[in-house]
């Protein structure tokens, strides 16, 4: 079973590379943002619970997100594996995910982290904001998002490294170069 977590800071190219990787491995990309919106739209029990928090402007609690992920990975298209994109974001979430997967007889096989220096990320995100006309993505908000990532999500690297599941991939280069580096990390993956 191919069960992968795709990590990296905002602007590292996770979304683009995840699509390529999922096509290559023939597994679905499980994006927590997408499945939260889908669960709310479909009116599932977990979706209705998530909607309560979202409507109040609160963050959806980990227990609800884990419940939604549990529902999603139980679907037939996840039978031979899946790529988690956007979750976990903290060690606490990773531990909850491990417990969930263990209860279903699954485990994360590989955690791939796309590594890009902060100054490069800042330039990429400013350029993307300019192209997409996103006035909310200015230098101050981008720096704040990167700081939050470094504080809350970077500890996941130690977590997965200690389990022998972490692959660090240089995310600087053109699309094809980065894809080849990821493929090299997954060459003996199964």
The answer to whether 164 is a known ligand-binding residue is no
The answer to whether 12 is a known ligand-binding residue is yes
The answer to whether 13 is a known ligand-binding residue is yes
The answer to whether 134 is a known ligand-binding residue is yes
Cα torsion angle, 38, 186, 96, 59, sign: negative
14 noted as active-site residue: yes
Q: Which two tokens stand for residue 46?
A: 């977990």
The answer to whether residues 172 and 114 touch, using CB atoms and an 8 Å cutoff, is no
The answer to whether 88 is a known ligand-binding residue is yes
152 in helix, strand or coil?
Answer: helix
The answer to whether 29 is a known ligand-binding residue is no
The answer to whether 173 is a known ligand-binding residue is yes
Catalytic residue among 110, 128, 143, 168: 128
Continuous H helices in 74-174: 91-103, 118-132, 139-148, 155-162
Catalytic residue among 70, 109, 143, 145: 145
145 noted as active-site residue: yes
> Strand pairing partners for 84?
5, 30
The answer to whether 14 is a known ligand-binding residue is yes
Cα separation values, 172 from 42, 72, 87, 129, Å: 39, 32, 22, 19
Catalytic residue among 52, 134, 163, 184: 134
Catalytic residue among 14, 51, 72, 124: 14
The answer to whether residues 10 and 145 touch, using CB atoms and an 8 Å cutoff, is yes
The answer to whether 58 is a known ligand-binding residue is yes
168 noted as active-site residue: no
Backbone angles phi, psi at 56, to 5 degrees: -85, -5
52 noted as active-site residue: no
163 noted as active-site residue: no
The answer to whether 8 is a known ligand-binding residue is no
Catalytic residue among 2, 89, 143, 152: 89
Binding residues are: 11-16, 32, 37, 58-60, 86-89, 93, 128, 134, 145, 173
Binding residues for AMP are: 32, 37, 58-60, 86-89, 93, 134, 145
Binding residues for ATP are: 11-16, 128, 173
* Residues recognised as catalytic: 14, 89, 128, 134, 145
């Amino acid at each position: 079973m191919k069960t992968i977590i795709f990590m990296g800071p905002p602007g590292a190219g996770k979304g683009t590379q995840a699509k390529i990787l999922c096509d290559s491995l023939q597994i679905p990309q499980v994006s927590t943002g997408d499945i939260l919106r889908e669960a709310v739209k479909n009116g599932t029990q977990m979706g209705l619970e998530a909607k309560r928090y979202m409507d109040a402007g609160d963050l959806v609690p980990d227990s609800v997100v884990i419940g939604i992920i549990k529902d999603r990975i139980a679907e037939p298209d996840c039978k031979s594996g899946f790529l988690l994109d956007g979750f976990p974001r903290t060690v606490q979430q990773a531990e909850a995910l491990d417990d969930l997967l263990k209860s279903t007889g699954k485990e994360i096989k590989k955690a791939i982290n796309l590594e890009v220096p902060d100054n490069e990320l800042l330039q990429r995100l400013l350029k993307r904001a300019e192209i997409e006309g996103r006035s909310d993505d200015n230098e101050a908000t981008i720096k704040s998002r990167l700081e939050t990532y470094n504080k809350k999500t970077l500890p996941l690297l130690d977590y997965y490294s200690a389990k022998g599941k972490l692959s660090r991939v240089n995310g600087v280069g053109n699309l094809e170069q980065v894809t080849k580096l990821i493929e090299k990390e997954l060459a003996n993956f199964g």
